[in-house]
């Protein structure tokens, strides 16, 4: 949730300077993270992941899409999934300017990193 709000706020503050921000969900990705689990779990993952998880190339697709696609640039600040703008039931909070500003200010306070208030 915070990443969605933060990306939208970055895009709003710095879009005119050519800086774009996106939030995205790459999906479940079959990796070697399961290589150190018990044999029963390995077998389970070997059976399940081909049906429900993406391979590494598919998992990277949305990140690459947001980095290079003109279609993505036309929708900067948005939340992407499977190389598309994701319309979720949480759209109201995604567009809540006061909530985004509160997250921004809290982040500055907690990190001690203050960024100019460009608008």
Cα separation, 55 vs 13, whole angstroms:
35
Range of the domain at 23: 2-111
Name the domain count of the chain.
1
* pLDDT tens track for 41-85: 988 888 888 889 999 999 999 999 999 999 999 999 999 999 999
Domain assignment present for 118: no
Listed in sequence order, the DSSP H helices in the chain are 2-14, 39-52, 56-68, 70-73, 91-94, 97-111
Cα separation, 113 vs 107, whole angstroms:
8
Domain assignment present for 24: yes
Averaged over 14-36, what is the pLDDT?
89
Task: Say what the pTM is.
Answer: 0.80
């Amino acid at each position: 949730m915070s990443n969605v709000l933060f990306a939208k706020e970055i895009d709003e503050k710095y879009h005119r300077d050519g800086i774009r921000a996106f939030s995205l969900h790459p999906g479940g990705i079959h990796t070697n993270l399961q290589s150190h689990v018990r044999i029963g779990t390995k077998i389970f993952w070997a059976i399940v992941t081909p049906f429900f998880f993406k391979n590494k190339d598919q998992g990277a697709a949305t990140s690459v899409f947001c980095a290079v696609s003109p279609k993505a640039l036309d929708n900067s600040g948005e939340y992407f999934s499977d190389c598309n703008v994701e319309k979720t039931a949480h759209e109201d909070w995604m567009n809540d300017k006061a909530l985004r500003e509160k997250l921004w200010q809290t982040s500055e306070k907690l990190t001690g990193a203050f960024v100019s208030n460009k608008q």
